Amino acid sequence: MRPVSVADYRLAARRRLPRVLFDYIDGGAYGERTLAANTEDLARVTLRQRVLRDVSRLDFGVELFGQTLSMPVILAPVGLSGLYARRGEIQGARAAARAGVPFSLSTMGVATAAEVAKAVAPPWYQLYMIKDRGFMSELMARVREAGCPVLYFTVDLPVPGSRYRDARHGMTDPRLAARLRQAMDGLAHPAWLWDVRVRGGAWTLGNLAGAGEGLTSLNQFWSWIGRQFDASITWKDIDWVRERWPGPLVLKGVLDVEDARAARACGVDGIVVSNHGGRQLDGAPSSISVLEEIAQAVGSDLSVLMDGGVRSGLDVLKALSLGARACLIGRAWVYALGARGEEGVTRVLDLFRQELRMAMSLTGCTSVREAGPNLLMRGKFESGFGTD
Residue positions annotated with a catalytic role: 276
User: Which string of DSSP letters, residue by residue, matches 48-92?
Assistant: ----S---SS-B--EEETTEEESSSEEEPP-TTGGGTTTTHHHHH
Report CA 266 to chain centroid distance, whole Å.
23
Sign of CA dihedral 165, 279, 352, 113: negative
Phi/psi region, residue 80 (left: phi>0; alpha: psi -120 to 50; beta: rest), is left
SS3 content of the chain, % helix, strand, coil (to 5): 50, 10, 40
Question: CA 57 to CA 137: how far, in whole Å?
Answer: 47
Q: Which residues, 6+ apart, have CB-to-CB distance to 87 below 8 Å? A: 110, 111, 115, 200
Q: How many CA atoms lie within 13 A of 332 on its CB side?
A: 28
Q: Are 126 and 148 in contact (CB under 8 A)?
A: no
Phi/psi region, residue 267 (left: phi>0; alpha: psi -120 to 50; beta: rest), is left
Query: Of 318, 299, 311, 308, whose CA–CA distance to 381 is shortest?
Result: 318
* Radius of gyration of the chain, Cα coordinates, nearest whole angstrom: 20
Question: CA 16 to CA 141: how far, in whole Å?
Answer: 37
